[in-house]
Structure 1
Amino acid sequence: MTTEVRHSKPWRNTRTHGKYYTQLYVHIVFSVKGRHALIPECHKAELHKYITGILTNKKQKLIQINSMPDHIHILVGMTPDTALSGLVKDIKVNSTRFINQKRWTAGQFAWQAGFGAFSYSHSQIPKVAAYIENQERHHSRRTFREEYLAFLEHFGVAYDMKYVFDSVADLPSEE
């Protein structure tokens, strides 16, 4: 049996000039505030390119990005010295400013207050990237709400329905 040895370029920590080797893959998901369909097909590529620039400037490795009219998925290889919440905040603040400056919506565009983030191993990356790439097909069978709740369940994330989505109208009806 032959063992394949793979050499990869380490992430460089510019503050200490030390080297470390990591594989931190995170699938980030967040929606448009109120889950309104405000990301039109004609602007998706431009939005994705802009977010790619944010990630590149933050020294993160974009693996896959795709959006639907009401939400976005981003698969990123992260450096260990980057705070996930800070990275998501940078993406949301800057892309919100970009969308509002472009006047893609009649009113003010905003993302939801929170986000979901799910970690994967290296061997799962091709499957996750394909999942993100094929969002249109997935959403022909399942809503974003169903998809997001399935992620939370699959990853064993404890949650309170009062806080998962933006409004009380998003809560399931009591029958």
Structure 2
Amino acid sequence: MPQSLVKNYVHIIFSTKHREDFIDESIEKELFAYIAILCKDFESTALQIGGTDNHIHILCLLSRKIALMKLVQEIKAHSSKWIKTKGRKYEDFFWQEGYGAFSVSEKNIFPTINYIKNQRKQHQQQSFKDELLEILEKHRIKYDEKYLWD
């Protein structure tokens, strides 16, 4: 085949270091907009970005030109530097080292967008820990819980 044809929707999740509450509602829209620009810069269009005080979700169409690991690394590095410029409150901001990434089928794009849009509401009823464990189970990902939270 003379050309590469790729369409991979990916739901990416990662948290702040030690799940510290840094992403308050006063900064989240600007942060999410900045991350959307980063995704676009790496030709991985963000369809929805959302989260709560201690973690974010990104649904994007992953470019055929970048590895998922590289995209997450770039998003974390650039957004971490950016948020630290937003005031003394954010000087000690860091993302956790790891991340979760899950493929999303075409038919599940809109439910995933809605899920990400409603993160603040979702987390009035469910902790991030319980949410992540539920997602890992749903995708049948084997894990050792002691390595999820350190």
Which TM-score bucket, shorter chain as reference?
Answer: over 0.9
In the alignment, what sits opposite 1:50? 34
Q: 1:50 and 1:157, CA in 2 relative to 1: closer, same or farther beyond 3 A?
A: same
Q: Check if 1:65 corresponds to 2:53.
A: no
Runs of 5+ unmatched residues, structure 2: none
Distance in 2 separating the partners of 1:104 and 1:111:
17
Show structure 1 runs of 5+ residues with no match.
1-17, 167-175
Shift of 1:106: 5.4
CA RMSD after TM alignment: 1.3
Aligned-partner SS, 2:26: helix
Counterparts of 1:121 and 1:106, CA distance in 2:
36
- CA separation in 2, counterparts of 1:104 and 1:43? 13
- Residue 19 of structure 1 aligns to a residue in which SS? coil
Counterpart residue number, 1:144: 128
Residues 83-110 of structure 1, C-alpha deviations (whole Å, 9 max, x = no match): 0010000000000000112226254100
Identity of aligned residues (%): 37
Could you tell me which residue of structure 2 aligns to residue 83 of structure 1? 67
Q: Tell me what 1:24 maps to.
A: 8
Q: Is the 2:22–2:90 contact (alpha carbons within 8 Å) kept by the matching residues of 1?
A: no
The match for 1:128 is: 112
Contact 1:28 1:75 in 2 (8 A): yes
SS of equivalent residue, structure 2 residue 10: strand
Give the distance between the partners of 1:58 and 1:106, measured in 2 at CA.
25
8 A Cα contact 1:31 1:111, kept in partner: yes
C-alpha contact (below 8 Å) 1:23/1:122 kept by paired residues: no
Answer yes or no: is 1:115 the counterpart of 2:99.
yes
Q: Larger relative CO (CA 8 A, sep 6+): 1 or 2?
A: 2
Q: Which amino acid aligns with 1:25?
A: Y
Q: Count the aligned residue pairs.
A: 149
In the alignment, which residue of structure 1 is the partner of 2:144? 160
Quote how far apart the aligned CAs of 1:67 are. Answer: 1.9
Q: Which residue in 2 is equivalent to 1:93?
A: 77
Query: TM-score, normalising length from structure 1?
Result: 0.81
Q: Rg larger in 1 or in 2?
A: 1
In structure 2, how many angstroms separate the alpha carbons of the residues matched to 1:106 and 1:82?
A: 29
